[in-house]
Chain A
Amino acid sequence: MTTEIHRDDLASKTGMWLFLFTEMLLFGGLFVVYSVYRYRNPIAFHLAAHELSVAIGTINTIILLISSSTIAMSITALQKQNKKLALLLLGITVFLGLAFLVNKYFEWGEHIKEHIYPGSPILALRGQGDVLFYGLYFFMTGLHALHIIIGLIFIAVIAVKIYGDKITFDNFVLLENSGLYWHLVDLIWIFLFPLFYLIT
């Protein structure tokens, strides 16, 4: 059988990028909200940001950066027809993504133990600025974590496809697209990290 199956990698990638543009606008809108709330509550935002752990934030940033490089290298590995290395690198990516979520779990757990969560009556006593800061903090990092979970599932599906030779060295646009998604998640974190943890 020599039936040529039509494939358009450029179109596939264009579709992925168009989707990523909508994701950027989604988070962009939230950054607009952040800048206005920060402008209106400078002191509350300043004090509340001090309560976040810079150490955990930094570790999570580095974890995401490394995971971004491993998924990028897995494309190189697959192009060089080194399937095993490509799968290993995807495995490391998934492991690092899970490590990020575990850190986030402990971080959120600490806050919730101190009665800091959206809708908490004790948080409400601290004033409007704190409510807005933590509301944005939980919503934006939560939405980001949701993207991590979706990204991990996406990457796991891609790994299974590579294992089953559905994605190969001459047909890897799906791997590239999952990589693009994962890098976008990293990109958003690059801005969330300084805005919530560093600028105090």
Chain B
Amino acid sequence: MENEKNHIIPYKTFLFVLAGLICLTLTSVLVTQISLGPLTVAIALLIAAVKSSFVLRIFMHLKFDNKMFSIGVIAVILLISVVIIITLLDYLYR
């Protein structure tokens, strides 16, 4: 099969990523318990974005798979962000 590279990801990689994800989760919990005002939202969402990029690239194999899937995911994320931004602009400047 030509489209099957049969790439085997070692167990260790997944365990390292898991440890990183748990650390990021605990960080976001700690950071949001301290009141930082509007920054809290930004930090919590930034950490969520970093976590999801790990899940997408390693757990979901995007890093090793056909680039077509990565492009699709980026397109969907852009579409959702554009819709959120346009909707909020409408509410902010109405």
What residues make up the interface of A, taking CB atoms closer than 8 Å to B? 7-10, 13-14, 17-18, 21, 24-25, 28-29, 31-32, 35-36, 39-40, 54, 58, 61-62, 65-66, 68-69, 72-73, 75-76, 79-80, 176, 179-180, 183-184, 186-187, 190-191, 193-194, 198-200
A183/B44 in contact, CB under 8 A? no
Closest chain B residue to A176, Cβ basis? B61
A190 and B59 in contact (CB under 8 A), knowing A32-B83, A32-B84, A69-B17? no
Contact with A along B19-59 (1 / 0, CB 8 A): 00110011011001100000011001101100110011011
What are the residues of chain B within 8 A of A18 when measuring CB–CB? Answer: 72
- In Å, the complex CA distance between A54 and B21 comes to 17
In this complex, how many residues of chain B approach chain A with their Cβ under 8 Å: the count is 50
B10–A14 contact, CB under 8 A? Answer: no
Interfacial chain B residues near A40, Cβ < 8 Å: 91
In the complex, A39→B41 CA distance in Å? 12
Contact A190–B9 (Cβ < 8 Å): no
Report if A35-B80 is in contact (Cβ < 8 Å); known contacts: A76-B9, A191-B52: no
Contact among A13, A24, A31, A76 with B76 in the assembled complex (CB-CB below 8 Å): A24
Do A14 and B55 touch (CB < 8 A)? Answer: no
